[in-house]
């Protein structure tokens, strides 16, 4: 269980998170929605310790995420970044097997390569991309390589930061289906950040809406259309008129 | 008046804070030397990139500088009938001063800029965050291998630069200025002392450390966007060049002030 209690984070005068409270039980797929610049990425980066909140607590299974063995903590996570964040200088298979080639999860090179190719197959890529450089791949293929890297070490918890941004609708559908399948298959806890309502419906068990630095609404995906919250309603229908200002 | 004092105070505080951040960064980099894991493959790549691939630039710079130095000393020395000291002055000038400084500045231009741009781009594209999520410390993976490689390989580059610079002077001296080849080499060898060579190599190591450290520091602290990457690259080269010249003065003072 991931639990955030009264988490605050500011950058100068910009108060991004203003008391976030959120619980994500083990095995649940939580999707965080909200307008651009509302702090969704900062939220997951705070959980990972990439950003340190000023106040509030973040716990994983009751333990403060900012204390204890960092390597052991991070080994439980996989993350798909918005732009895939593949390492330009490494071929695709070494990107996927990055964690398996070094550190506490290190495996022999041949075994790591086999696992990488198997994970690439799992996300619909053939073995011939394994030796290519990330720059030689399309945006959709890079996202899938990023996804393969996120699941390579079979983590318990996976974060997806805007997994379908910049992809065509068909490729976005492929990524959504892959995420849903992988999360279900692995029994992983997932937090996904997205603006894409198709993704929300495909991926989520539960939804949390972040607005003005706080969780505005949270509930099962089945309740989203009948939430009676004007903010949620405006967001999911993409209306310019409503309580959320279009010009921010 | 109070506004002026406030702005001076803010500038001083900003300067001190920048020194503090750089000192912390340096301390962290050095501390990772004795804390495993050590990424040998990245170290090897850095040796290749910083050392081997810099050889053409270093060689050309040193060769032309040595040649020009011989011409300058010859024409300048002619004013007081001291043309004969060309081999000695070229040797001492290249080994003590021009070799390490020019190689240091060329490395700042070629390597510092490249390191800063690469790491800043990695930061902008979230690759540094990705490293952290993959349980890999960016200082260990990116900074330490580059700084260590530059520190170890720069004395070799400076040594090569010194030799090629002296060779440039030799070619000009023998082919253009009419020096006897054997006498030129003999004078060069006789005049140089071990301390000259040691100072050159030590300067190389210090300049290599500075060049790589500045690239990593500005890359890691880059702002977002293309402008941020550009600013980090420019600042890294400027800072490296200034620090190399300042360190050169201090090291010269330390080695030869007596």
Q: Report the residue from B122, B125, B133 with minimal CB separation from A48.
A: B133
Q: Look up residue B235 and give its two tokens.
A: 């600042």
- Give residue B163's pLDDT: 97
State whether residue A98 sits within 8 Å of chain B by CB.
Answer: yes
Say if residue A232's pLDDT is above 80.
Answer: yes
Say if residue A87's pLDDT is above 70.
Answer: yes
Q: Look up residue A25 and give its two tokens.
A: 């039980």
Residues B217 and B25: beta-carbon distance below 8 Å: yes
ipTM over 0.85: yes
- Give residue A238's pLDDT: 84
User: Is the peptide bond preceding residue B37 cis, with omega within 30 degrees of 0?
Assistant: yes
pLDDT band at A174 (very low <50, low <70, confident <90, very high): confident
Give the distance from residue B101's alpha carbon to the nearest chain A alpha carbon, in angstroms. Answer: 31
Question: Bigger pLDDT: A18 or A170?
Answer: A18
Residues A143 and A167: beta-carbon distance below 8 Å: yes
- Give residue B134's pLDDT: 93
Percent of chain B with pLDDT over 90: 91
Question: Bigger pLDDT: A244 or A204?
Answer: A204
φ, ψ of residue B131 to 5 degrees: the values are -60, -45
Task: Count CB-CB contacts under 10 A for residue B223.
Answer: 13
Give the distance from residue B118's alpha carbon to the nearest chain A alpha carbon, in angstroms. Answer: 10
Section A159-174 average pLDDT: 87
Interchain CB distance below 8 Å, B127 and A85: yes
Instruction: Indicate the SS3 state at residue A5.
Output: strand
Chain A, residues 39-68, CB within 8 A of chain B, namely 45, 48-50
- Give residue A248's pLDDT: 56
Say if residue A179's pLDDT is above 70.
Answer: yes
- Cα A126 to Cα A118: distance, rounded to the nearest angstrom: 9
Summary mean pLDDT of chain B? 95
Say if residue B53's pLDDT is above 70.
Answer: yes
- Give residue B59's pLDDT: 96
Q: Name the residue ranges covered by the structural domains of chain A.
A: 86-154
Alpha helices by DSSP H, listed for chain A, are 40-48, 70-74, 92-96, 109-122, 139-151, 169-186, 197-203, 230-237
- Give residue B258's pLDDT: 67
State whether residue B135 sits within 8 Å of chain A by CB.
Answer: yes
- Cα A42 to Cα A82: distance, rounded to the nearest angstrom: 13
Say if residue A12's pLDDT is above 70.
Answer: yes
Section B5-16 average pLDDT: 94
What are the strands, taking DSSP E only, across B50-155? none
pLDDT band at B44 (very low <50, low <70, confident <90, very high): very high
State whether residue B7 sits within 8 Å of chain A by CB.
Answer: no
CA proximity to B104, closest of B234, B236, B210, B217 = B210
- Give residue A247's pLDDT: 60
Say if residue B138's pLDDT is above 60.
Answer: yes
Pick among A44, A72, A85 to test the B interface (most B CBs inside 10 A):
A85
pLDDT tens profile B182-202: 999 999 999 999 999 999 999
State whether residue B130 sits within 8 Å of chain A by CB.
Answer: yes
DSSP B159-207: HHHHHHHHHHHHHHHHHTS---HHHHHHHHHHH--HHHHHHHHHHHHHH
φ, ψ of residue A31 to 5 degrees: the values are -110, 130
Residues A35 and A211: beta-carbon distance below 8 Å: yes
Residues A153 and A105: beta-carbon distance below 8 Å: yes
Instruction: Indicate the SS3 state at residue A240.
Output: coil
Section A49-68 average pLDDT: 91
* CB neighbour list of residue A21: distance below 8 Å, 6 or more residues apart: A4, A5, A6, A7, A214, A215
Say if residue A102's pLDDT is above 90.
Answer: no
Q: Report the residue from B122, B129, B134 with minimal CB separation from A98.
A: B134
Interchain CB distance below 8 Å, A85 and B130: yes
- Give A220's DSSP letter: E
pLDDT band at A172 (very low <50, low <70, confident <90, very high): confident
State whether residue B37 sits within 8 Å of chain A by CB.
Answer: yes
DSSP strand pairing (A63-64 vs A55-60): antiparallel
Say if residue A37's pLDDT is above 90.
Answer: no
- Give residue B8's pLDDT: 94
Say if residue A208's pLDDT is above 90.
Answer: yes
Summary mean pLDDT of chain A? 90
Question: Bigger pLDDT: B208 or B36?
Answer: B208
pTM as predicted: 0.88
Say if residue B43's pLDDT is above 60.
Answer: yes
Query: Which residues in A lie closer than 8 A to residue B37 (C-beta atoms)?
Result: 102-103
Percent of chain A with pLDDT over 90: 58
Question: Of the spans A7-21, A137-151, B156-170, which averages the highest pLDDT?
Answer: B156-170
Least confident of A99-103, A109-113, A145-149, B118-122: A99-103
Section A150-179 average pLDDT: 88
Interchain CB distance below 8 Å, B132 and A50: yes
Q: Name the residue ranges covered by the structural domains of chain B.
A: 1-35, 39-256
Section B6-27 average pLDDT: 94
- Cα B251 to Cα B199: distance, rounded to the nearest angstrom: 8
CA proximity to A217, closest of A56, A21, A6, A26 = A21
Residues A88 and B131: beta-carbon distance below 8 Å: no
Site of tokens 């060779």? B167
φ, ψ of residue A64 to 5 degrees: the values are -60, 125
Query: Which residues in B lie closer than 8 A to residue A81 (C-beta atoms)?
Result: 126, 129-130
Instruction: Indicate the SS3 state at residue A37.
Output: coil
Q: What size, in residues, is chain B? A: 258
Q: Report the residue from B37, B129, B135 with minimal CB separation from A85.
A: B129
* CB neighbour list of residue B160: distance below 8 Å, 6 or more residues apart: B55, B58, B59, B62
Section B156-162 average pLDDT: 97
Instruction: Indicate the SS3 state at residue A91.
Output: coil
The helix/strand count (H/E) of chain B reads as 12, 0
Say if residue B82's pLDDT is above 90.
Answer: no
Instruction: Indicate the SS3 state at residue A156.
Output: coil
Query: Which residues in B lie closer than 8 A to residue A112 (C-beta atoms)?
Result: none
Q: Report the residue from A81, A87, A88 with minimal CB separation from B129.
A: A81
**A146 Cα distance to chain centroid:** 11
Side by side, which strands form the sheet with A206-211? A77-80, A157-161, A189-193, A29-33, A206-211, A214-220
């Amino acid at each position: 269980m991931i639990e955030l209690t009264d988490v605050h984070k500011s950058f100068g005068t910009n108060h991004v998170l203003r008391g976030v409270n959120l619980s994500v039980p083990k095995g649940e797929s939580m999707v965080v929605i909200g307008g651009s610049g509302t702090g969704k990425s900062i939220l997951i980066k705070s959980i990972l310790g990439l950003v340190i909140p000023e106040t509030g607590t973040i716990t994983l299974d009751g333990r403060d995420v900012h204390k204890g063995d960092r390597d052991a903590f991070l080994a439980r996570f996989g993350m798909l970044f918005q732009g895939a964040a593949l390492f330009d200088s490494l071929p695709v298979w070494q990107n996927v097997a990055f964690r398996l080639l070094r550190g506490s999860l290190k495996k022999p090179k041949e075994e790591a390569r086999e696992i990488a190719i198997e994970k690439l197959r799992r996300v619909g890529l053939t073995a011939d991309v394994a030796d290519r450089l990330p720059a030689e791949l399309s945006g959709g293929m890079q996202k899938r390589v990023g996804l393969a890297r996120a699941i390579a070490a079979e983590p318990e918890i996976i974060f997806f930061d805007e997994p379908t941004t910049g992809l065509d609708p068909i490729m976005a559908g492929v990524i959504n289906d892959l995420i849903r399948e992988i999360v279900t298959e692995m029994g992983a806890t997932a937090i996904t950040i997205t603006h894409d309502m198709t993704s929300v419906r495909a991926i989520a068990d539960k939804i949390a809406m972040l607005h003005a630095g706080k969780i505005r609404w949270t509930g099962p995906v089945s309740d989203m259309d009948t939430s009676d919250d004007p903010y949620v309603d405006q967001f999911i229908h993409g209306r310019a008129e409503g309580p959320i200002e279009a010009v921010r | 008046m109070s506004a002026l004092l406030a702005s001076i105070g803010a500038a001083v505080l900003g300067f001190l804070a920048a020194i503090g951040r750089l000192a912390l960064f340096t301390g962290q980099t050095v501390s990772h030397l004795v804390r495993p894991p050590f990424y040998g493959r990245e170290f090897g790549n850095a040796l290749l990139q910083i050392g081997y691939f810099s050889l053409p630039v270093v060689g050309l710079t040193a060769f032309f500088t040595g040649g020009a130095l011989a011409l300058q000393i010859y024409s300048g020395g002619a004013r007081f009938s001291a043309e004969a000291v060309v081999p000695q002055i070229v040797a001492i000038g290249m080994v003590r001063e021009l070799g390490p400084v020019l190689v240091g500045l060329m490395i700042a231009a070629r390597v510092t800029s490249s390191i800063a741009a690469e790491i800043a781009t990695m930061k902008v594209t979230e690759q540094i965050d990705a490293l952290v999520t993959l349980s890999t410390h960016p200082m260990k993976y990116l900074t330490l291998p580059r700084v260590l490689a530059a520190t170890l390989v720069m004395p070799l580059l400076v040594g090569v630069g010194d030799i090629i610079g002296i060779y440039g002077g030799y070619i000009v001296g023998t082919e253009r200025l009419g020096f006897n080849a054997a006498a030129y080499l003999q004078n060069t060898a006789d005049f140089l002392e071990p301390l000259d060579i040691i100072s050159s190599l030590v300067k190389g190591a210090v300049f290599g450390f500075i060049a790589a450290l500045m690239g990593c520091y500005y890359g890691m602290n880059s702002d977002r966007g293309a402008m941020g990457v550009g600013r980090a690259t420019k600042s890294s080269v400027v800072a490296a060049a200034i620090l190399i010249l300042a360190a050169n003065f201090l090291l010269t003072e330390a080695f030869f002030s007596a």
